[in-house]
Structure 1
Amino acid sequence: MSDRLYRTVRAGYMALTDCAPLIIAQELGFDLQEGIRLEPVRMNSWSGIRDGLAFEKLECAHMPGALALAMHLGLSGMKTGIRVPLLLGHGGNGITVSTDLYEEAAAILGSAMPTTRSESGMLVRVVAEKRKANKQPRLRLGAVHAFSSLNYELRAWLAHAGLDPDVDVELIVVPRPKMVEALAIGEIDGFSVGDPWGQLAVEAGIGRIVATKADLYPYSPEKVLAFRSAWVEGHYEIAVKTAAVVSRALGWAAQEENHAELAQILTQEEYLDLPEEVLSRALDCKPKLAPDTDGEPVARYLDFSGDNQPTTADAMWLLAQMRRWEQVKPGCEADVAEVFKPFEPIGSTVAKLEVGSKKDPAAAAFDGVDFTEGDVEAYKQAFAV
């Protein structure tokens, strides 16, 4: 087929390991087999992706699920109707603290050091309490966007340790490419970010990954494939084909025998331009968590397998986090109920959507708080902070 006969679909992405399905769909030609040309567009910030989608510079994008809801509700940037037909896997996030903070906490705690990553917020608590007692500045922790699981996981982790994230520490937004540098110069004491940036801080000897999304909320939604609703309405068949080829790429990326090739592709300059070894560890769920150690097995650290079709429960879970942290007023359930919804297949689409086992987004949550998609407010009220 001549290039001019392919319909180009521009897909924004950030240079994170979990952008892999978009890259693979194009690199392995899954898109051309459906008669479309997927054009991955590397962006520098989530705000840039948000605005690119809103102002029609992109047709779809790799983005945090919460940001997709925030766009739809008019809470971030220009209010834009959004449709999410596909989750882009699970996991990939990590909370990293500086080696200085870790060592200071270890000296205070001694034999009382937390033995599980889900309880590691205690490291921040004891140092924060020491600083408060000495009338020193609060610890500063970074996240890349307010409307992201990275922000919610950091807040929940701190609250679980007995800290009020808005009082006892200072949370700031730091651009993803500046995270490691900010940690190195002491501008921040830790951060919550997607792979591979935590591993890069560990590689540099300046940080330790003390908790991962897999330790906190292993089945909760993470990045999604988001479309402008208006574009979908006018180009439904193309949208369906786009989601289908990305779903096919998810299935390919989930296969362990493909991880070496996937890492080689992602390491290229036009994509992530990062060390292949670091990417391979993430793909194999064996991230490097501390300096002078090898990769450590972390189940579901980054998982492209399973059922990646979105559900109303996924949307309500994210809305519940937004409610918990007072980002949205009550009563938005009906507005977001149709956002996370798979496309209906059309005719003879070659690449069928991958389907596997689906768990509740709150399954195995580290805080043990029950979640019911029909009662967001009850979830919010279950927390003291």
Structure 2
Amino acid sequence: MTTPSSQPETLDGDAAAKPEKTHLRLGFVALSDAAPLVAAKVLEFGHSHGLTLELCRQPSWAAVRDKLLSGELDAAHSLYGLVYGVQLGIGGPQADMAVLMVLNRNGQGITVSNALAQALKEHDSLKAALASLGRPPVFAQTFPTGTHAMWLYYWLAAQGVHPLRDIQSVVIPPPQMVDALAENKLDGFCAGEPWNAVAEARRAGRTAIATSAIWPGHPEKVLACRRDFVAHHPNTARALVQTMLEACRWVDAREHRSEISNWLAKPDVLDVPRELIEPRLVGVYEGAQFAKPPLPVSFFDGGAVNYPRLSDGQWFLAQYRRWNLLRDGEGASDAAIAASINQTSLYREAAARCGVPIPEEMRVDVLIDGEAWGAFTA
């Protein structure tokens, strides 16, 4: 993507803070929550920090992982759980990884087939509805250790459905999920927008639940890179966080979400009609019926979104242990793993330069099953 610069090309700070690398290749997957990366490029927020950004759309999260590891990408819009999975060597090559910042919270959904949606109306529980199908149900998520797998598993388990025994879980890239649902290959999927909205527009299924009902204010996508990138290019990494903080702040304004929807709709980004992107990006879920309105996707919220809180990372580790992806006692403590991945000191430096406040380090959230994170037991 190339667009004229709309920002002055002046480097902030002194010469000692000059980025070691000025041209960065950033990966993203076709999802509405890639909006901060698109805004950063369209408006060239990087220029005032000495950076030129090149956006590189990837077909899947596995491709994001592989290109980060090979060095073809410098950093990427990434599933929070992908970073932790690679760090632990779960389901793929191991490499030391870094979470530079959180890009958004909320904004994902679980969509079910029309047949399952009807069964849910006719039965008093998800477990009974799935049993009425007369065969093992098939659900798709986007990466084995990713956020969508964890939201799906948590939602199922909260309703008495064991995600490892009672369903078949498959991995499908987000843009391919609607076709699979329409072709009756799936009973449901968990993914980011706009694919839940697209499924409804194509009458392939119904959004059963927004992920904010599973964990209100949950962390979702992060800005990720290899840890050696931070070690070799600390000024660049800090400048990139400053750039993305500015982009997240810009996208968080409702009028700017409407504006960025035009860019997200373009063929080299989402290639989805704007009319299917904007409503859920601004928090409008037309036609979907929920017990309570979903919390909208949040990109900044005065800086409360973006701090890479260690407890958020530890939640994913707790889920890996719960689902036998990681055994108790393996490797370092969860606190030590999270502290090595989440670049809190770097983030604090970048946020201070942008005048972005740091939220509380710890927070307590109540999830769909009534468990409070902080008191979670696997």
Calculate the TM-score normalised by the size of structure 1.
0.85
Task: Note if 1:106 corresponds to 2:126.
Answer: no
Cα 1:102–1:346 change in 2 (3 A) is closer
Say if 1:17 and 1:279, in contact at 8 Å, map to a contact too.
Answer: yes
The separation in 1 between residues aligned to 2:348 and 2:193, in whole angstroms, is 35
The separation in 1 between residues aligned to 2:349 and 2:356, in whole angstroms, is 17
Task: Note if 1:302 corresponds to 2:297.
Answer: yes
The separation in 1 between residues aligned to 2:77 and 2:349, in whole angstroms, is 26
Give the structure 2 partner of residue 375 of structure 1. none
Matches within 5 A, 1:289-328: 289-290=287-288, 298-306=293-301, 307=304, 308-328=306-326
Say if 1:20 and 1:266, in contact at 8 Å, map to a contact too.
Answer: yes
Structure 1 unaligned segments of length 5 or more: list them.
110-121, 373-377
Give the residue type in structure 1 aligned to 2:141.
A
Say if 2:238 and 2:349, in contact at 8 Å, map to a contact too.
Answer: no
The separation in 2 between residues aligned to 1:178 and 1:271, in whole angstroms, is 15
Matches within 5 A, 1:95-174: 95-109=110-124, 122=125, 124-131=126-133, 136-174=134-172
Task: Return 141-150 or 72-81, whichever deviates more.
Answer: 72-81
Say if 2:366 and 2:373, in contact at 8 Å, map to a contact too.
Answer: no
Matches within 5 A, 1:1-385: 7-109=22-124, 122=125, 124-131=126-133, 136-290=134-288, 298-306=293-301, 307=304, 308-331=306-329, 332=332, 333=334, 334-344=336-346, 352=354, 354-355=356-357, 357=359, 363-372=365-374, 379-381=376-378
Give the residue type in structure 2 aligned to 1:282.
R
Cα 1:364–1:358 change in 2 (3 A) is farther
The separation in 2 between residues aligned to 1:192 and 1:359, in whole angstroms, is 29
Task: Return 273-282 or 325-334, whichever deviates more.
Answer: 325-334
How many residue pairs match? The answer is 354
The separation in 2 between residues aligned to 1:345 and 1:286, in whole angstroms, is 32
Cα 1:297–1:370 change in 2 (3 A) is closer
The separation in 1 between residues aligned to 2:254 and 2:149, in whole angstroms, is 30
Give the residue type in structure 1 aligned to 2:144.
A
Say if 1:312 and 1:338, in contact at 8 Å, map to a contact too.
Answer: no
The separation in 1 between residues aligned to 2:350 and 2:207, in whole angstroms, is 45
The Cα RMSD (Å) is: 2.6
Cα 1:356–1:214 change in 2 (3 A) is farther
Give the residue type in structure 1 aligned to 2:284.
K
Secondary structure at the counterpart of residue 41 of structure 2 = helix
Give the structure 2 partner of residue 118 of structure 1. none
Say if 2:117 and 2:208, in contact at 8 Å, map to a contact too.
Answer: no
Cα 1:346–1:130 change in 2 (3 A) is closer
Secondary structure at the counterpart of residue 90 of structure 1 = coil
The separation in 2 between residues aligned to 1:276 and 1:361, in whole angstroms, is 36
Question: Per-residue CA shift, 1:24-45, capped at 9, x if unaligned?
Answer: 1111011111111111110001
Question: Per-residue CA shift, 1:276-317, capped at 9, x if unaligned?
Answer: 122111221112454xx9x99934231112321111111111
The separation in 1 between residues aligned to 2:166 and 2:40, in whole angstroms, is 44
Measure how far apart 1:154 and its partner are. Answer: 0.9
Cα 1:343–1:170 change in 2 (3 A) is same
Give the residue type in structure 2 aligned to 1:18.
D
Secondary structure at the counterpart of residue 241 of structure 2 = helix
**How high is the sequence identity, in percent, across the aligned residues?**
28
Cα 1:353–1:44 change in 2 (3 A) is farther
Calculate the TM-score normalised by the size of structure 2.
0.86
Give the residue type in structure 1 aligned to 2:101.
L
Say if 2:238 and 2:350, in contact at 8 Å, map to a contact too.
Answer: no
The separation in 1 between residues aligned to 2:149 and 2:352, in whole angstroms, is 38
Say if 2:105 and 2:298, in contact at 8 Å, map to a contact too.
Answer: yes
Give the residue type in structure 1 aligned to 2:246.
R
Secondary structure at the counterpart of residue 344 of structure 2 = coil
Cα 1:212–1:29 change in 2 (3 A) is same
Secondary structure at the counterpart of residue 40 of structure 2 = helix
